[in-house]
Structure 1
Amino acid sequence: MSYLIISFSHKNIDIKMREKLSFNSDEDKERFIKQILENEPTKEVVLLSTCNRVEIITRSSNVKQSARNIIEKLATYSGLDFELLYDRADIYDNDGAVHHLFSVASALDSLVIGETQIVGQLKDAFRFSQAKGYCSSNITRVMHYAFKCAAQVRNATSLGTGSVSVASTAVAKAKDIIGNTKGVKALVIGAGEMSELTVKHLISSGFDVTIISRDMKKAQNLATTFEVHVNVEPYSELSNLLAKTPVMITATSAPYPIITKDNAPSSNINRYWFDIAVPRDIDENISLSNLEVYSVDDLQDIVNENMSLRAEQAKTAYGIVSRMSLEFFEWLKSLEIEPIVKNLYVKGNDIIDKKVKNAIKKGYISASDEENIRKLCQTVITEYLHQPSKQLKDISKNMECDLVVGTVQNMFGFNNDSNLRNKYKCDHLSKN
C-alpha cells in the first residue's frame, strides 16, 4: 500500500478550472469520497478543497489505477476533459506524497507562502473524513506528522508571522493602488472567516469599512468584534454601495457569481474590485468604465514579492519538511518492529510459564522454588534477546526492513499487533 495524492492548485491550473473542481458543500465532498472508495485499490480518503487547491489524499494498493479512477471521477464532477485533467494533475506517491503533504500543511505550497489558514483547513478536512469513517490509522499517522511538521516550521521560522493570506495580499494591492487610504471607503461582501481577515487588514490600512451580507445578523456580530466602528448595510443596498465605493473585496462561499451584469452598476469614480472567492463572486464578463477587477490569480506580483522576501525562511522550512518526511518513514518502520520485539519477549515468557509448570508437575523442581526459577529464566531470555532486539530496531532504519519484518513474522508465527499500532493518535489535531 502506498500513500497517493492527486493535487490541483494555482501551480498547475487556472482559476476557471479551480472553480469547476471546487467542492462547496459537505454533501458534495461526501458523495465524491464515497465514489472514490468504490474503487477496489483505493483505501482511506481525505479531500481538501480551498480557494487555491483541491488535494485528494489516499492510500492505494495500485497507484496508477487509483489515480486514473480519481481523475475520471473529478472529470465527471467538474465537467472538464479527463485528458486535460490527467495531463495537468500533480500525482505524488509514497515519499513524494508525504513530502508534498508536509509542504502543503506548512504553507510552503500556498499562493502566499506562510499563509496561516491552510493548516486549519487541512485539519477540518481530516476531521470530516475521520468523523465519517473515511480514513483510519494510516492516514491518521501521516496527518499526525504533517501537523507536527507544520508546527515545527512555524516555531523555527517567521513564515507564519505578519500579513500572510490572500486577504492581506488583496488589501496590500488595494493600498498600493489607492496610496493614501485614510478615510477611503471599502466594502466587504460576506461575513465568514475570510471576510473577517479582510476587514481586519482594511482597518489596519486606514480604510473606512462597510460589511454587507445576506445574513445581516452574522454581519452585525462580525462588526462588533473590531475595536473601531464598522458599518453594516442590508444586502438590498448592494448595487448602491458598489456604485459609490472605491474598493470592494468579496469573499463569499456562493457557488455562483453574486455580482453580474444585472446588478453591477456603472459609476463616474474609479473603482477596484477584488474577488478572493473560488468559485468567483464576480462574473468574468463584466466590463465597465473606471472599473478594474482582480481575481486571486491577479495578485501574483505581490505573491512574487512575498516569495523573495521569505526565500531564506522558506529554505529553512523546506529543510524541516525533508527531514520530517524521512523521520516519518523511519517511524512507520519502527511501528513494524515494536510488535515483533514485544512478541519475542511474550513468546519467551509463555515458554517459561509452560516449562516451569511442567517441571513442577513432574517433580523436577519444588513449587517453593518456582518464583526464583522464573526470575532466572526471564533473566536468561532478556539477555538472550537483547542483541536481536537491538538489531531489529537498527534494521527499521534500513531499506530491507520490510523484507526482514515479513521473514521474522513468518519464522515465529507472529501476527501484526493492531492494538499497539492504533495507540498512536494525532496529538496536533486539536491545535491551531
Structure 2
Amino acid sequence: MSYLIISFSHKNIDIKMREKLAFGSVEDKDRFIKVLLENEYTKEVVLLSTCNRVEIITRSSNIKVSAKNIIEKLASYSGLDFDILYERADIYDNDGAVHHLFSVASALDSLVIGETQIVGQLKDAFRFSQAKNYCSSNIIRVMHYAFKCAANVRTATSLGTGSVSVASTAVAKAKDIIGNTKGVKALVIGAGEMSELTIKHLVSSGFDVILTSRDIKKAQILASSFEANIRVEPYSELTNLLAKTPVMITATSAPYPVITKENAPSSSIERYWFDIAVPRDIDENICLNDLRIYSVDDLQDIVNENMSLRAEQAKTAYAIVSRMSVEFFEWLKSLEIEPVVKHLYVKGESIIDKKLKTAIKKGFIKADDEENIRKLCQTIITEYLHKPSKQLKDISRNMECDIVVGAVQSMFGLKNDSSTPIKYKCEHLIKN
C-alpha cells in the first residue's frame, strides 16, 4: 500500500482547464470522493480544490490502476479529454507523494510562494474527509506530518509574512498600473474570505473601496469589520459600478461568470479588472477598448518577482521539506517496530508466568517467594532484551527493516499486529 497524489495546478494546466476541474460545492466533493472509493485499490481519499489546484491525495495498493481510475473520473466530471489530463497530470507515489504534499502544505508549490491560505485549505479538506470517514490512520499520519512541516517552514523562514496571496498580488498589480492611488475607487465583488483579503490590501494601498455582493447582509458585516470606510452598494447597481470604477477585483464562488457581455458596460475611463476566482467570474469573450482584464494566470510577472526575492528562503524551506519527508518514513518504520518490541516483552512475561506456576506446583519454590522471584525474572528479561530492542529501533531507519521485522516475528512466534493504535496527538483530528 503506497501514498498516491494526482496533482493538477497552475504548473501543468491553464486556467480554462482548472476552472472545469474545480469543485465548487461540498456536494460535488462528497459525490466525487465516494466514486473514487468504489475502486478496490483506492482506500483513502482527501480532495483539495482551490483556485490554483486540484489535488487527489490517496492510499493505493495498485498505483497504476488507481491513477488511471482517478483521472478517468476527473475527465468524466470535468468534461475534459482523458488523454490530455493523463498526459498533463503530475502523478506522485510514496516518497514523491509525501514530498509533494509537504511542499504544498508549506506553500512552496503555490503560484505565490509563501501564500498563507493553502495550509488552511488543506486542513479543511482533511477535516472534511475525516468527518466523512473517507480517510483513516495512514492519511491521518501523513497529514499530521504535513502540517508539522508547514509550521516548521513558517518558523524557520520569512515565507508567509508580508503580502503573499493571489489577492495581494492583484492589488500590487493594480497599484503598479495606477501609480498614485489616493482617492482612486476600487470595486470588490463578493463577500468571502478572498474578498476580505482583497479589501485589506486595497485599503493599505490607499484605494477607496466599494463592496457589492448578492448577499448584501454578508457584505455589510464584512464592511463593518474594517476601521476604514468601506462603501456597500446593492448588487443591482453592478453595471453602473463597473462603468464608473477604474479598478475592480472579483472573487465570488459562483460556478458561472457573473460579468458577461450583457452586463459589462463601455466607459469613458480606463478600467482594470482583476478576476481572481476559479471558475472565472468574468466571461472570457468580453472585449472593450477601454478595458484591460487580468486573470490569475496574468499575474505571473509579479509572481516571478516574488519568487526571486524569496529564492533564498525557499531553499531553506525545501531543505526542511526534504528532511521531514525522510523523518516521516523513519517515524512510520518506528511505528512498526514498537509492537514487535512490546510483544517480545509480553512473550517474556508469559514464559515467566508459566514457569513460576510449574515451579510452585512441583515444589521447586514456595508460593510466598513468587513475587520476589517474578521481579528477578523480569529484571533478567529486561536486561536480556534491552540491546535487541535498541537494535530493532535502529534498524527501523534502514531499507531492510521489513525483512528483519518479519524474521524476528517468525523466530519468536510474535503476532503481526497491524491494528496498533496511533500513539501521537494530532491537533487537526476531529473530536467526536
TM range (shorter): over 0.9
- Structure 1 residue 410: deviation in Å? 2.9
Q: Secondary structure at the match of 1:421?
A: coil
The answer to whether the 8 Å contact 1:104/1:118 transfers is: yes
How many angstroms apart in 1 are the aligned matches of 2:359 and 2:111? 72
The letter for the 2-side match of 1:81 is: D
What are structure 2's unaligned runs of at least 5 residues? Answer: none
> What is the alpha-carbon distance in structure 2 between the residues aligned to residue 406 and residue 283 of structure 1?
61
| 8 Å CA contact 1:143, 1:426 repeated in 2 | no
| Counterpart for residue 147 of structure 2 | 147
Q: What CA deviation, in whole Å up to 9, does each residue of 1:159-188 have, x standing for no partner?
A: 010000000000000000000001100000
SS at match of 1:59: strand
* 1:409 positional shift: 2.3
Distance 2:69 2:410 in 1: 35
SS in 2 for 1:333: helix
Matched residues in 2 for 1:358 and 1:424: separation?
A: 40
Taking the aligned partners of 1:58 and 1:3, their CA distance within structure 2 comes to 6
SS at match of 2:109: coil
Residue 351 of structure 1 deviates from its aligned partner by 1.0
- The residue that corresponds to 1:39 in the other structure is 39
2:199 & 2:252 partners in 1: Cα distance? 13
Instruction: Supply the AA of the counterpart residue of 2:121.
Output: Q
Letter in 2 for 1:9: S
Aligned length in residues: 430
Match of 2:4 in 1: 4
Q: Secondary structure at the match of 1:29?
A: helix
SS at match of 1:8: strand
Match of 2:109 in 1: 109
Query: Equivalent residue for 1:320?
Result: 320
Partner of 1:256: 256
Match of 1:217 in 2: 217
> Residue 353 of structure 1 corresponds to which residue in structure 2?
353
1:20 to partner: Cα distance? 0.4
Displacement of 1:429 after TM fit? 5.8
- Partner of residue 390, structure 2: 390
Contact 2:168 2:197 in 1 (8 A): yes
RMSD of aligned Cα (Å): 1.0
Task: Say yes or no: does 1:266 pair with 2:269.
Answer: no
Shift of 1:305: 0.1
Residue in 1 that maps onto 2:336: 336
Which residue pairs with 2:161 in the alignment? 161
How far apart are the structure 1 equivalents of 2:102 and 2:426?
15
CA positional deviation for 1:402: 1.2
Within 5 Å, give how 1:51-66 maps onto structure 2.
51-66=51-66
Deviations 1:347-391 (A, max 9, x none): 101110121122112211001111110011111111111111111
Alignment of 1:234-253 (within 5 A): 234-253=234-253
Q: Do structure 1's residue 300 and structure 2's residue 291 form an aligned pair? A: no
Does 2:376 match 1:373? Answer: no
Residues of 1 paired with 2:210 and 2:384: CA distance?
76
CA distance in 2, matches of 1:118, 1:412: 48
Equivalent residues of 2:127, 2:428 under 8 A apart: no
CA distance in 2, matches of 1:429, 1:273: 40
- In 1, Cα distance between equivalents of 2:411 and 2:279: 57
Shift in Å, 1:424: 2.7
Q: Is the 8 A contact 2:123 2:428 kept in 1?
A: no
d(CA) in 1 for partners of 2:387, 2:342: 14
Counterpart residue identity of residue 280, structure 2: R
What's the TM-score once normalised by structure 1's chain length?
A: 0.98
- Deviation of 1:312 (Å): 0.2
Aligned twin of 2:187: 187
Q: Equivalents in 2 of 1:324, 1:200: separation in Å?
A: 34
Q: Which residue does the alignment assign to 2:119?
A: 119
Determine if contact 1:47/1:56 at 8 Å carries over to the other structure.
yes
TM-score between both structures, scaled by the size of structure 2 = 0.98
Question: Match for 1:27: what amino acid?
Answer: E
Report the equivalent of 2:94.
94
Distance 2:280 2:366 in 1: 85
Counterpart CA distance in 1 for 2:158 and 2:414 is: 48
Letter of the 1:309 counterpart: L
Distance 1:94 1:394 in 2: 22
Cα-to-partner distance string for 1:197-230 (whole Å, 9 max, x where unaligned): 0000000000000110000000000001101110
Q: Which residue of 2 aligns with 1:50?
A: 50
User: What is the deviation of 1:416?
Assistant: 4.1
What is the rounded CA distance, in whole Å, between the counterparts of 1:92 and 1:285 in structure 2? Answer: 36
Contact 1:250 1:277 in 2 (8 A): yes
In the alignment, the residues of structure 1 paired with residue 429 and residue 52 of structure 2 have an alpha-carbon distance, to the nearest angstrom, of: 22
Q: Which amino acid aligns with 1:19?
A: E
- Supply the distance in 2 between the matched residues of 1:65 and 1:35 (Cα, whole angstroms): 15
Q: Which residue of 2 aligns with 1:28?
A: 28
CA contact (8 A) 1:108 1:114 kept: yes
SS at match of 1:424: coil
Distance apart, 1:426 and its partner CA:
2.1
Residue 69 of structure 2 aligns with which residue? 69
Which residue matches 1:201? Answer: 201
**Aligned twin of 1:229:** 229
CA distance in 2, matches of 1:40, 1:411: 34
Is 1:82 the equivalent of 2:88? no
Q: Is the 8 A contact 1:46 1:57 kept in 2?
A: yes
- Deviation of the 1:419 alpha carbon: 5.7
Report which stretch shifted further, 126-135 or 421-430.
421-430
Q: Distance in 2 between matches of 1:363 and 1:249?
A: 90
1:76-135, CA deviations, whole angstroms, 9 ceiling, x for partnerless residues? 000000000000000000000000000000000000000000000000000000000000
Percent identity over the alignment is 85
Displacement of 1:23: 0.3
Q: Distance in 2 between matches of 1:260 and 1:252?
A: 14
**Residue 128 (structure 1) aligns with:** 128
Structure 2: which amino acid aligns with 1:124? D
Deviations 1:131-162 (A, max 9, x none): 00000000000000000000000000000100
